[in-house]
Structure 1
């Protein structure tokens, strides 16, 4: 039921919002079948159990760039079957969808955003099959465009937002959001804007989620897209009012920077200081503009480990609580004719408003290397390390992952790959240290 609900929201709603004409766009898909063997399927310190997992799946993408409809939908649907019925089989979905339908061109748009993924039940436990759940956040509503004199334009937005988790029901909520934005172009490449956003958050079950609240944000934003540098900076203020009378206020700071040092060297930087919650974090993933395309600047553990090729479990703490986030992430990428190398450090500090149990400080570093041996054969390697400190729990977790991958494209449509991943965790918490070896064989058909 969870996956059916997620897919209906993520694919059906996003494409339906595009009013029929969306199907004039480009649809692509890739079919794959993966067999995994692991010597510790439960990621436990003792009584380690080997298991084989069969994982068929499909990756799909849809783009539409018409004058009336613009859409970008990417997704992954995967089925997992565990040998010996060690765990129940499961179907998982991962979708990112954005669509805009010009109901009245240059005047009124209908906008849909949807993000579905797989997140842990508890980030304090290992990502074993029984510590996973389906999540989905969708926003839909109209955007009205208007002019203010000859030099400024503006938007008035009204959105309905719904958040859903298949197991942790405290995450489930309905939200109403209104926003007014004024834009002024400083040059063909530079723009400033003033933004006011108001949001009412109503949880489906206040007994486990806590009180509803209202959120207000007022900030200025500057964007610049030059030949070598892209900048997106925001500075303002956030105010939150809880229904039980508590309120809090703090500055809001966001910065994304992309620097194309040369044709082969790229540096990205992303930082923020703000109040957020899990639903907001999932609906508005961090992006940086590189060469006219939006590229996500993901957490290290997600960005570096690409050997699996299917759905990975995220690291968002699924809860209803608001937290103050201080984070900075960076990456350096070198691309040559046959080799690509990346390094990505990251730092984050989360302080929760209502429950300090999961207050945490995280540090991470990742490395990846791809080398094309021949036009059809590529070898890859990666290594990543994360360190999380939980002050309230007096706990320290260190997690390391490294692996290698061999990929062979034997026809224009068919390829295969074999991968090895080694994972280790050292934790102060009892029963949370483990090590595991994972082997993957994948066959891929690309349309």
Structure 2
């Protein structure tokens, strides 16, 4: 149950609202010889009391499944990622500014073995992207890849990767919402070709995933563009209580690709919920993302780090972030984001945990000459009173100061949630 004193995040006309949010989190893990699967998801129903807003049913899903058709020869893989994203990224996260998105990938993978340390695989995948309201996001994609692997030792692997992807949008001309105004934009199809080398190392207290190569975008009846590409993921547990992870990327991307897991990422098992997650998703619910849902390709520059200190009763996490997007076709949404989160969990009692967090973000739209400074902080008290039952009480406050007209706001939220877990 949620109470908000400004559910529409309005600058001048706040609406106080009570919301009832029943939902279910589910997970499935299978590591068999024929089927390997990892599925985590949330199904949620949002009931706005007083009928001031339409009730909503929302889904969040991260699913990977692999069917071994012929052992060590042929696999068939399926991946699906669903979430909730804004309709208009320049407007506030009001109940009527949300839509369901989904990205699906499926296809065969052929494995080839050349001796004990050399192997290869050939992939052919079909991809589909869908948004319930922004139709120019909807697309069909075909992807082919050839990968050659060499095991340097039991912990280190080097690979050469060639990928080609053809993207065809369902609507060659579509209507999108920008700052509350509808505009018509072209959605040209394109081909993306990439060639890169990748090095991975997995040690007991250190892991590395390094990628370096070249990427080229060829638009239909339009110009092409090419850039070097690089991705890095490092993880280091330098003492039993201290860990540090760093991720970075310089690459072409788009909204659909950003919904897929990137190298170094993994599906988080919801049943092993981190107490800090309750602050962002009280009761394990669904939060709205921050992607610009459209058909455009952008050059992405990302750098993120997370430092964690933990003991038996206390955990501290510090996570600074930097993200810059430069769009190839239209500069309207060119943006840079700087910010970070500090969170702390303290176990007051073996079954009672107090969590606090502070998040700050500065988002600048270069072409629009707009800057949003958003601050979010909160407290959560959680108690596990039986092996299956727990409750949480949370308070969250968020404030935005924007240079755009009528886009500043402040909101106070109070949550009470009861969770049954098996």
| Deviation of the 1:305 alpha carbon | 4.4
| Deviation of the 1:85 alpha carbon | 1.0
Compared CA separation, residues 286 and 396, structure 1 to 2 (3 A) = farther
Kindly provide the CA deviation profile for residues 341-374 of structure 1, in whole angstroms up to 9, marking residues without a partner as x.
Answer: 1010000110001110010010011011111111
Equivalent position to 1:392, from 358, 367, 391:
367
Answering whether residue 167 of structure 2 is matched by residue 201 of structure 1, we say yes
Equivalent position to 1:112, from 78, 85, 107:
78
Count of residue correspondences: 405
- Aligned partner of 1:287 in structure 2 is 264
Answering whether residue 118 of structure 2 is matched by residue 152 of structure 1, we say yes
| Deviation of the 1:303 alpha carbon | 7.1
Distance 1:94 1:295 in 2: 13
Equivalent position to 2:330, from 355, 362, 369:
355
Farther off after superposition, 143-152 or 417-426: 143-152
Answering whether residue 250 of structure 2 is matched by residue 273 of structure 1, we say yes
Which runs of structure 2 are paired with 1:42-53 in the superposition (5 Å)? 42-53=8-19
Distance 1:342 1:135 in 2: 30
- Aligned partner of 1:331 in structure 2 is 306
- Aligned partner of 1:264 in structure 2 is 241
Answering whether residue 222 of structure 2 is matched by residue 242 of structure 1, we say no
Equivalent position to 2:228, from 251, 255, 258:
251
Say whether the 8 Å CA contact 1:61–1:74 is kept in structure 2.
yes
Which runs of at least 4 in structure 1 moved beyond 4 Å after TM superposition? 293-296, 302-305
Say whether the 8 Å CA contact 2:279–2:379 is kept in structure 1.
no
Cα RMSD (Å): 1.6
Say whether the 8 Å CA contact 2:77–2:106 is kept in structure 1.
yes
Farther off after superposition, 81-90 or 279-288: 279-288
Which runs of structure 2 are paired with 1:430-445 in the superposition (5 Å)? 430-445=405-420
Say whether the 8 Å CA contact 2:279–2:394 is kept in structure 1.
no
| Deviation of the 1:228 alpha carbon | 1.4
Distance 2:261 2:169 in 1: 19
**Which has more helix, going by share of residues?**
1
Distance 1:285 1:45 in 2: 37
- Aligned partner of 2:316 in structure 1 is 341
Equivalent position to 1:420, from 395, 403, 408:
395
| Deviation of the 1:245 alpha carbon | 3.5
Equivalent position to 1:306, from 271, 277, 280:
280
Say whether the 8 Å CA contact 1:137–1:279 is kept in structure 2.
yes
Answering whether residue 99 of structure 2 is matched by residue 133 of structure 1, we say yes
Compared CA separation, residues 294 and 438, structure 1 to 2 (3 A) = closer
Equivalent position to 1:69, from 35, 39, 42:
35
Kindly provide the CA deviation profile for residues 244-294 of structure 1, in whole angstroms up to 9, marking residues without a partner as x.
Answer: 1311100000000000111111101000001001111112346347xxx97
Say whether the 8 Å CA contact 1:346–1:363 is kept in structure 2.
yes
- Aligned partner of 2:134 in structure 1 is 168
Distance 1:114 1:226 in 2: 30
Compared CA separation, residues 40 and 285, structure 1 to 2 (3 A) = farther
Farther off after superposition, 280-289 or 129-138: 280-289
Give structure 2 stretches of 5+ with no counterpart. Answer: 175-185, 271-275
Distance 1:86 1:207 in 2: 34
Say whether the 8 Å CA contact 2:281–2:287 is kept in structure 1.
no
